[in-house]
Structure 1
Amino acid sequence: MLAFILFLIIIWIILGIIGAVVHGLIWLLIIAAVLFLATLVFGGSRLRSGRR
């Protein structure tokens, strides 16, 4: 599960960099930021629930 979450975070970082570099793709940067935060929240909740 942790490997999957790290994979998603890496994908969102790559999409964010592409969105920031290519001027016309600012929307890609915004989508990447939202998905990155969602992955962090989802991953944090899954990791916390597994420790109980």
Structure 2
Amino acid sequence: MIIGLAYDLLRAEEKFLIDAARRLGHTIKPIFILRRIDWLNDTSSEEYRDIGF
């Protein structure tokens, strides 16, 4: 349960950063490269491709 909660919090933060980048016109792309979380074996790469990664 704690792992699930941590996962949900990480996804919420990731989604917030993606939305912020869209609003700012992709001026903060390096943040996403550094903050990308692949160790959860997530499908977030789809979202990264959508915003130009």
Query: Which TM-score band (shorter chain)?
Result: 0.5 to 0.7
Identity between Structure 1 and Structure 2 (%)? 13
The gaps in structure 2 that reach 5 residues or longer are: 43-53
Larger radius of gyration: 1
Query: How large is the Cα RMSD of the aligned pairs?
Result: 2.9
The gaps in structure 1 that reach 5 residues or longer are: 43-52
List structure 1 segments (4+ residues) > 6 angstroms apart after TM superposition. none
Q: Give the helix-richer structure, 1 or 2.
A: 1
> TM-score, length-normalised on structure 1?
0.54
> TM-score, length-normalised on structure 2?
0.54
Q: Which amino acid aligns with 1:16?
A: I
